[in-house]
């Protein structure tokens, strides 16, 4: 079997902390009272009907965030119809504050060991805005970034994974793919990639599993 050569990461939820984890920062940035944002997604699925609908494939991930964006916009007296408005208003002041420290460590460890790095995202620039990348030095370590904002091909479509392997000029089995959405992990597995289903509740162990496939310690 081909040895792993590239670490392919999802962006939101894997490289960055989820919006569920940063409600306090969001509330402060938007001038909302503490505790105003009660939806918790994977951290409290029993209390988030919309999240459960997404997990059951009744709605898409984009639809989940479209609805949440509208809700939060109305809370501040505005009409928000695009996810990037929400994310940029909530996170634009300090992008570094939402990067997972575990992600930064893992990326630096992998890069120092000569592991090739790539990002495969469904909505990096759609959600964060095109300028967000330029404010994150960590992204300079990534050789390839494939973003469905521009390709229009969403994971778990096999063509999304093909875009990464083509850009890296590697077979699928040489890539270790990490994503917090099981449907996307299943899609990567179906095309022959090595995979790690990232647990946003346990980022350290998740990155350890990913680096372990290269014989590296987190």
pLDDT digits (tens, 9 = 90+) for 175-189: 999 999 999 999 999
Tokens at 7, concatenated: 């670490």
Domain boundary among 71, 94, 117: 94
- pLDDT band (50, 70, 90) for residue 128: confident
Buried b (16+ CB within 10 A) or exposed e, 23-55: bebbbeebeeeeeebebbbbeeeeebebbeebb
Residues 157 and 63 in one domain: no
214 contacts 7 by C-beta, under 8 angstroms: yes
Cis ω before 156 (30° cut-off from 0):
yes
Tokens at 133, concatenated: 């990348």
In a domain, 217, yes or no: no
Cα distance between residue 52 and residue 72, in whole Å? 19
Residues 108 and 190 in one domain: yes
Residues 198 and 137 in one domain: yes
- pLDDT band (50, 70, 90) for residue 92: low
CATH number, domain containing residue 172: 3.40.50.1000
Contacts of 155 (CB under 8 A, 6+ apart): 10, 120, 122, 148, 161, 179, 181, 183, 184, 187, 188
Residues 72 and 160 in one domain: no
Q: By residue range, what is the domain housing residue 27? A: 23-94
Average pLDDT of the segment spanning 75-86: 92
- pLDDT band (50, 70, 90) for residue 166: very high
- pLDDT band (50, 70, 90) for residue 93: low
Domain boundary among 64, 94, 124: 94
- pLDDT band (50, 70, 90) for residue 132: confident
Each residue's pLDDT tens digit, 98-115: 899 999 999 999 999 999
End-to-end CA distance of the chain: 24
Percentage of residues in the chain having pLDDT higher than 70: 99
Residues 130 and 157 in one domain: yes
Residues 83 and 112 in one domain: no
């Amino acid at each position: 079997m081909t040895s792993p050569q590239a670490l392919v990461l999802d962006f939101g939820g894997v490289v960055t902390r989820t919006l569920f984890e940063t409600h306090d920062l969001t509330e402060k940035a938007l001038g909302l009272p503490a505790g105003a944002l009660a939806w918790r997604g994977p951290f409290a699925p029993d209390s988030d009907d919309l999240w459960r609908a997404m997990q059951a494939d009744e709605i898409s991930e984009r639809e989940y965030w479209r609805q949440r964006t509208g809700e939060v916009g109305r809370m501040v007296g505005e009409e928000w119809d695009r996810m990037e408005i929400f994310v940029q208003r909530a996170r634009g002041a300090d992008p570094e504050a939402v990067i997972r420290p575990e992600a930064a460590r893992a990326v630096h460890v992998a890069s120092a060991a000569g592991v090739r790095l790539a990002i495969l995202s469904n909505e990096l620039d759609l959600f964060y805005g095109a300028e967000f990348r330029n404010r994150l030095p960590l992204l300079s370590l990534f050789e390839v970034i494939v973003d469905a904002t521009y390709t229009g091909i969403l994971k778990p479509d096999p063509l999304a994974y093909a875009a990464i392997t083509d850009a890296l000029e590697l077979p699928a089995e040489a890539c270790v793919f990490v994503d917090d959405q099981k449907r996307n992990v299943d899609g990567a597995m179906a095309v022959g990639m090595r995979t790690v289903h990232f647990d946003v509740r346990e980022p350290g162990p998740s990155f350890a599993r990913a680096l372990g496939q290269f014989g590296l310690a987190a």
